[in-house]
Structure 1
């Protein structure tokens, strides 16, 4: 288990609960994920309930192509 992980609960910011936490869009999420990968983070927490699934979709878009970087 990694010592450090990154939570993607603010990605999307949809719905009454998650919009109160933040509204991280794709471009900002991409920058955050890039910084995480550069720092060696390899544990990303997300769930289908975060912003009604938008968090997983945005995280997937941000990670797309990461294996080739």
Structure 2
């Protein structure tokens, strides 16, 4: 059985992640971050860690597939 983790993060949490990445990650994609930030807070906004990492080139979150050890 496969479970996808998705997050309903409030806008301040998305902003925190974006600020952290801007400070610590020279490859961070700010344009993609802006799209997430603008959508955050709506009832339909759901973000998976993998989607965040792939879209923004984030380094502050690590997502691995597989079973818990």
| Bin for the TM-score computed over the shorter chain | 0.3 to 0.5
TM-score for the superposition, normalised by structure 1 = 0.33
Query: Which structure shows the higher helix fraction?
Result: 1
TM-score for the superposition, normalised by structure 2 = 0.33
Query: Which structure shows the higher strand fraction?
Result: 1
Task: Compare CA radii of gyration and give the structure with the larger one.
Answer: 2
